[in-house]
Amino acid sequence: MSHAAYVFDAYGTLFDVHAAVRKHAGAMGPDGQAFSDLWRAKQLEYSWIRTLMGTHTDFWTLTEQSLDYAFARFPSADRKLRAALLDAYWHLDCYPEVPAVLKNLKHRGARIAILSNGTPQMLQSAVKKAGLDLIIDDIFSVETVRAFKTSPAVYDMVTTTYRLYPNAVSFQSSNRWDVAGATKFGFRTVWINRGDMPDEYADFGPALILPSLESL
């Protein structure tokens, strides 16, 4: 089924959020993966709590704060790696199939966009590093509405800008909670279940579940 716009979450969907820690795996020690998992979990938790409280702090600041929490929880991790890990987050690897998939969709005449919690600067850096800057038409950052996903105001940026009904938008995310929010908004959703995780939010299910973007 063809759609007018294909919109992608960034972190975990296009870009590997664990690439920063993996880049320094040798120096991180045995707790590296658990450290990375906690860093990501707290980054998201902080975004949800901020939005629920009706306040806003940009995603880069939350990334720093969640990293500091991970260091506090894992004393085995060398705090001297803090600057290197943060720098690596600006240049995350994209998943291998991403460039070809996005080029194919663009070739069909669809608009290609990112809709992300990240700041414009974070997203532009990641897109440029991955060589996607000539493929992606638009980057929608939550900084415009100063609320994080799954606030309806975030998803509404796409339909308002493109003057489309929600069901004309195909939205892809690796985050099941993000898929639930986008489904509730009215997007046609695709869950990119990279980790083969069990389903949840059964009342807001995706139209399609894929193990990667390759079959999109």
Catalytic residues: 9
3-state SS assignment for residue 32: helix
How many Cα atoms are found within 13 Å in the side-chain-facing hemisphere of 15? 29
The amino acid present at 83, given as its one-letter code, is: A
What's the distance, Cα to Cα, between the start and end of the chain in Å?
A: 10
Of the candidates 95, 2, 77, the one whose C-alpha atom is nearest the C-alpha of residue 32 is 77
Please identify which residue in the block is written with the tokens 């600041």.
61
Kindly provide the residue ranges of all beta strands, DSSP E only, lying in the chain, ordered along the sequence: 5-8, 111-116, 138-141, 169-173, 188-192, 208-210
Q: Within a 10 A sphere around the Cβ of 59, how many other Cβ atoms?
A: 23
